[in-house]
Chains A and B, each alone.
Chain A
């Protein structure tokens, strides 16, 4: 059976691709901010501290019988909490920022491991969250994913111009009377939401690849942030499609296959264009200069 036939007949595979689409939209948009603002390390910390929330909710669900405490909810709460703490540290304790961020990274993961050790039974959900299983996405998860997508898109539509300047020159934004601290925290919260969406697809361990690689490749191709986002979304969708297809044929884990294809594409782009920044734009610049 071909991959296309399988998509038509297998609802699990179709849901997986929809989840990939939902995650690709935010990974392209928010990933672009993460790359240009150079907050990849902060995003890594948020992504790994999510494990604390997942572990806590699994423990509540299994050991305490609290059924509404789903791992996805735990992941979302932990990601937003980590974003708020890191944002506060960034604004108040810049001297030791990287050390404190690393500590949050470790504390989140440690809390997750401890809660999981106290949770009875074999935790399939945990494995899925760690290494990703796009085929595991349920219909309600899809609603949540597209709902979060909608929130991120609307926020970015209204705040993109402000985010652009916050990323480029915070002092100019402050001088123009923009609430710089609020916008920075908002950007971190959007990053946290995106991370949770991406964890559904590629898992905690591989989430940084999907958040940063499509945007980093896009940055090689253009010198406009808005175009960079479109290209990154397109690349992300492509990686999800090819990765899921390859995983289907080779019987490999989908998340790891998607991340591997993205990573190899980035390395190839860097090897092919070692000194190039914004290839497409440079070509346009040369044409323009020639016209001048």
Chain B
């Protein structure tokens, strides 16, 4: 069986600056991966390369054996909620339904099945029906993040990418999100960018440290300094 994500000799340059250099790693189907690294280390660039939004300068990326964006729809992405305009006129249900855009017929109306699946996804993340028609911009950080996770789940992905899903939420919402991701563990491949490694390390099976290149570590190998956001070498916890 081919790897969920296979990266070979990947380099990416922005203008003349190297963001990622000669990077190789593989992620197996069903793995729950935490991605850590300092700001500007290339975490978001790596996600965008995997999603096919950016093209590698050198090397290759394969998603289940296909270049990104060429195979069947397998990826879902959960961005940070803060990047959205809170005044944007869109309802919770419309946001989640956008996870079914790939199935939209030419005349642009979602089917009853799409609406049913959107309802199920919202139920799964704990958003009640009374919120469906509410403005997305009026939700709390935790609710908004769960709605974005529902949008990702409704597309029935094989790989779920999350960009700091607990960055702008309170501790209760953070706990809910980790509980939800823990439930999803094993059913799909999960790649989660996080700065909160202290909590994340209890859930992830492997950690990728991105800082120009990518180093793969087992959770127990990661130095505890990463948990409080101090990035340094050596990466491995020497005991």
Is A175 positioned at the interface, with any CB of B under 8 Å from its CB? yes
Q: List A14-44 residues whose CB lies under 8 Å from chain B.
A: 36, 38
**Given contacts A223-B138, A288-B134, is CB(A168)–CB(B84) below 8 Å?**
yes
> Which residue from chain A places its CB closest to the CB of B79 in the assembled complex?
A171
Residues of A within 8 A of B95 (CB): 168
> Which residue from chain A places its CB closest to the CB of B75 in the assembled complex?
A175
* Docked CA distance A157–B95 (Å): 19
Say how far B2's CB is from chain A's closest CB, in angstroms.
Answer: 21
Q: List A110-167 residues whose CB lies under 8 Å from chain B.
A: 157-162, 164-165, 167
Instruction: Assign chain A's interface to a size class.
Output: 35 or more
Say how far B103's CB is from chain A's closest CB, in angstroms.
Answer: 9
Residues of B within 8 A of A223 (CB): 89-91, 135, 137-138
Please determine whether A175 and B89 come into contact, CB atoms closer than 8 angstroms.
no
Is B109 positioned at the interface, with any CB of A under 8 Å from its CB? yes
Residues of A within 8 A of B109 (CB): 161
Please determine whether A175 and B90 come into contact, CB atoms closer than 8 angstroms.
no
Say how far A186's CB is from chain B's closest CB, in angstroms.
Answer: 13
Instruction: Count residues on chain B whose CB falls below 8 Å from chain A CBs.
Output: 36
User: C-beta contact mask, A222-251 vs B, less than 8 Å → 1, else 0?
Assistant: 111101100000000000000000000000
Q: List A164-180 residues whose CB lies under 8 Å from chain B.
A: 164-165, 167-169, 171-178
Is B86 positioned at the interface, with any CB of A under 8 Å from its CB? yes
Say how far B51's CB is from chain A's closest CB, in angstroms.
Answer: 6
Please determine whether B89 and A278 come into contact, CB atoms closer than 8 angstroms.
yes
Instruction: Give the interface of B toward A (CB within 8 A).
Output: 51, 53, 73, 75-77, 79, 84-91, 94-95, 98-99, 101-102, 104, 106-110, 128, 130-131, 134-135, 137-138, 151, 155
- Can you offer 12 A-B residue contacts whose CB atoms are under 8 A? A161-B104, A161-B108, A165-B101, A167-B88, A168-B84, A169-B84, A172-B98, A175-B75, A176-B99, A281-B134, A284-B134, A285-B134
Instruction: Give the interface of A toward B (CB within 8 A).
Output: 36, 38, 157-162, 164-165, 167-169, 171-178, 219, 222-225, 227-228, 277-278, 281-282, 284-285, 288, 291-292
- Return the 7 tightest CB-CB contacts between A and B, nearest first: A223-B135, A176-B101, A161-B108, A176-B102, A225-B89, A165-B98, A277-B87
